[in-house]
Each structure stands twice: as C-alpha cells, then as structure tokens.
Amino acid sequence: MKKVLIIGGGGREYSIGYFMKDEAEIFYAPGNGATEEFATNIDIKDFEELANWAKENNIDLTIVGPEDPLVKGVVDVFKSHGLTIFGPSSKAARLEGSKVYMKNFLKKYNIPTARYIETDDKQKAYEFIDSMDKLPIVVKADGLCAGKGVIIAESKEEAKKTVEDMLSGKAFGDAGKKVIVEEFLDGYELSMFAICDGEDFVLLPAAQDHKRLLDGDKGPNTGGMGAYAPTPLANEELYEKVKSRIIKPTLKGMQEEGAPFEGVLFIGLMIVDNEPYVLEYNVRFGDPECEELMALIDSSVYDMFFNGATKQLDKIDVKIKDMVAVGVVCASKNYPYSSSEPAEITVDDLSDCNGYIAYAGVKKIDGKLMATGGRVLVCVGFGKDVKEARDEAYKIVDKVHFEGKKYRKDIAYQALKY
C-alpha cells in the first residue's frame, strides 16, 4: 500500500486523507483528534526533521494543506531530500504570500483583475481613494493574515482609516506594512481550483464559499462558514474563459518568472456579466471548499495528487461524480472573536444520512472527542441537486451536539435562489 504524509490538521487536510484512506496508509503532521481514527498523527514541526522522517518511513507522497508551510518553503526542503511532494515552491507560493506580488503579476501577464494601487505611502493611497468614483473600496494587507486581511470599506473615510491602521502596523502587524487599494467589482464571487503540475492542469468544479459569520451574509468575515460545489452559477462558457484567460497565462507567466507553479491554484473570482476577474490567488485548497470537492472525485484521489507532483497530469483522467456536495461549518461558541472552552462532541447515528463529517478544531481528551475552538467540523451532505445535498447537510448538523455549536442556516442560498 502507498504511504502518504499530509501536512496540516484542519478540515481540509482531514477530507484529503479521508477520501484517500482506502488507497494509501495515511500519516498526518500534526493531524487532529479525529484523524487518528483512520491515520497516524506525528508531532514534528521542523521541516528538515519531517523530511528525514518521510525518508526513513518510505513515504511515497507528501501533500501540504495550509499556506503557511508553503510560503515558508517546506516543498523546497522536501525536494532537496529527493522526496515527492505536492505543493508550490516558496517562490511560486508568493502568489498567496504577497498580495502586491500577485496583483503586479496579474497586471504583467494581462490577467483580468480590478483597478488598483499598491503602496506603503499613506498619501498615495489617500490620493487613489479620492480619485475613485465608486463605493465600496477594497483595502488589502500585503502579507498572510489567515484569510482576514481584506477590508471592504463603505466610505472613503473608512478606507483611509483602514490604510492608516494597516500601514502603522496596528491592524495586521508586518503583514500590513504594504497595502493594496482596489476598486470593488460588483458581481458574485466564485472559487475555482486547478490541480497544476507546472505545465498542465485539471480544473475542478466551481465552488461557492460563505465567508460571513451570520445568515444573509451579515457579521464579520471568517475563514468560511460553509460551501457547496459544483455551483450552477458557473456555465461551460465561464469555465472556458477561466482556463484560457486566467489559468493558462498564469502557468506560462510563472514559468517565465522562474517559478513553475505546481500544486493547487485557488482562484478567487468575481463574475461580472459572465466575465471572470481575479480577486486573489491562493496556493492551496480553500477550507471549507476542499471538504466538498474531495467528495466529488470519482477516480483515484491519490493519482490526482501524485501525478500533479510528478508532472504527469496528462496521463490521468480525473472523473467527477454527477452530484452536488454542500458543507455547513459548525463553529465553537465564541468564534471568530475569541477562544472557547473545550466541549465534548457527540454524534447521533448517521446511517440514514447521505454525507460525512470533516473534523477540524478537535482534540482527544481522556478518550473523548472535544471541540477545542474555531471551526470545529464541517457537515457535508450529498444529493442529486443543491437542495437535496443541502437538506442532507442540515440533517447531519442536527445530529451533531456540542456546547455552544454555532452555524449558518442559509448555506447555498444563492444557488437555490438561482
């Protein structure tokens, strides 16, 4: 049996291992309290040490889940040891690690995006804000802020205050020492994910994430409160535009930059009149989108990642199930404001449900599975259409119990409205 090491311990990493467990022996670094049900968790943080462990244990493939180790160069370390690893080099990971680099890259290679300025000069940012004729205005911190470094300002005053807070280091520390101010595109957001091997790519079904904490897209931005895929909001014409105008020029551009892109290219899109514009790039799967996408793959999940890591995507056919997956995040009581007390998780019998649970913020304490804060788990339902999958997801939500459980009740509402 193949051996796979997955770096990370959230719901995204759980779902990758969960859908590969029949094909390979799975190891996690560090994993979580639920991954040990079907895998082995190891506690090694140092990249060199982890690479040596992978060599000693004859790991066939390593998959990196989160952005932080990618930006810090875990792929480079593993490759220097001759190991097979799926994910971008630190140089290629700048597409997420620096929003300034990403926006300038889009401009250089004529990839459609919003009008913007990048600067560390408060006065220049203010002048650009004053020149804008439409509200709201988007202000972004340059560096990694765990998905929270984007502010949509409803007035020019708020935009200027945000710029000041970021550049002073008050808002996001060093991550905000350079900012991007850009026009707000009025359309709807979609997430698309391409498995890339530097030259070729496989585009997975489009997903839609729900970032806000509360129903009706109210409340603060979070890491994501739910998602569904595929979305009926993406038609064949749109997929073709994304392939030809965005993914192909990006892969070609990254080759020219001397940083061929291997790994997951996560394209945050704004669709305006069926025209795609890039809002941002991430260099890994979205969470919770990954939890739905893994469930949709109808061919070998191992081969998809292994062939992506070994420049052989042209040799496989990634098949997609004819179904919809809807995921609802159950978060802890105080999310996203502060940490919550650990709470025991109990789950009723799921035999009459069509779906699964992807666990994230959980630990085993005295043999009990405990919610330990943040986004605790994702209830993913399957169905022939969005409504059926959503109903299954909420059926699972009702069977999950822990103190302070918090979730949105309107996931996939845009697709149902559509």
Question: In whole angstroms, what is the distance from residue 328 CA to residue 410 CA?
Answer: 9
Question: In whole angstroms, what is the distance from residue 396 CA to residue 356 CA?
Answer: 8
Question: In whole angstroms, what is the distance from residue 144 CA to residue 126 CA?
Answer: 23
Average pLDDT for 382-409: 98
Confidence of residue 317 (pLDDT cuts 50, 70, 90): very high
Q: What angle do CA 405, 406, 409 make, to 5 degrees?
A: 125
Confidence of residue 416 (pLDDT cuts 50, 70, 90): confident
Res 319 pLDDT > 80: yes
So what's the pLDDT on residue 259? 97
Instruction: Evaluate whether 281 touches 1 at the Cβ level (below 8 Å).
Output: no
| Tens digit of each residue's pLDDT (9 = 90 or more) over 47-93 | 999 999 999 999 999 999 999 999 999 999 999 999 999 999 999 99
Q: What is the DSSP letter of 204?
A: P
Whole-Å CA distances, 149 to 7, 105, 217: 24, 19, 18
So what's the pLDDT on residue 147? 63
Res 150 pLDDT > 90: no
Instruction: Evaluate whether 311 touches 384 at the Cβ level (below 8 Å).
Output: no
Res 106 pLDDT > 80: yes
Question: In whole angstroms, what is the distance from residue 88 CA to residue 72 CA?
Answer: 11
| Tens digit of each residue's pLDDT (9 = 90 or more) over 352-370 | 999 999 999 999 999 999 9
Q: How many other CB atoms are there within 10 angstroms of residue 221's CB atom?
A: 17
So what's the pLDDT on residue 151? 87
So what's the pLDDT on residue 176? 60
Question: In whole angstroms, what is the distance from residue 414 CA to residue 418 CA?
Answer: 6
Res 345 pLDDT > 90: yes
Q: How many other CB atoms are there within 10 angstroms of residue 340's CB atom?
A: 21
Instruction: Evaluate whether 64 touches 87 at the Cβ level (below 8 Å).
Output: yes
So what's the pLDDT on residue 76? 98
Secondary structure class of 219 (helix, strand, coil): strand
Higher pLDDT, 223 or 28: 28
So what's the pLDDT on residue 271? 95
Question: In whole angstroms, what is the distance from residue 201 CA to residue 207 CA?
Answer: 17
The H-or-E segment that residue 249 falls in is: helix 248-256
Question: In whole angstroms, what is the distance from residue 32 CA to residue 9 CA?
Answer: 5
| Tens digit of each residue's pLDDT (9 = 90 or more) over 176-230 | 678 889 999 889 999 999 999 999 999 999 999 999 999 999 999 899 999 999 9
Widest pairwise Cα distance in the chain: 61
Res 146 pLDDT > 80: no
Average pLDDT for 291-314: 98
So what's the pLDDT on residue 415? 86
Q: What angle do CA 194, 286, 35 make, to 5 degrees?
A: 110
- Of 234, 391, 255, which Cα lies nearest the Cα of 311? 255
| Tens digit of each residue's pLDDT (9 = 90 or more) over 276-293 | 999 999 999 999 999 999
Instruction: Evaluate whether 228 touches 176 at the Cβ level (below 8 Å).
Output: no
Res 96 pLDDT > 80: yes
- Of 230, 284, 262, which Cα lies nearest the Cα of 97? 284
pTM over 0.85: yes
So what's the pLDDT on residue 169? 80
Question: In whole angstroms, what is the distance from residue 180 CA to residue 194 CA?
Answer: 25
So what's the pLDDT on residue 174? 72
- Beta bridge pairs of residue 359: 377
Question: To the nearest whole number, what is the mean pLDDT of the chain?
Answer: 95
Question: In whole angstroms, what is the distance from residue 335 CA to residue 330 CA?
Answer: 10
Token pair 């082995």 is at which residue?
40
So what's the pLDDT on residue 396? 98
- Angle (deg, nearest 10), helices 11-18 and 289-296: 10
Residue 159 CB-half CA count within 13 A: 27
* Burial class of residue 337 in the structure, from the number of CB atoms within 10 Å of its CB (0-12 exposed, 13-18 middle, 19+ buried): exposed
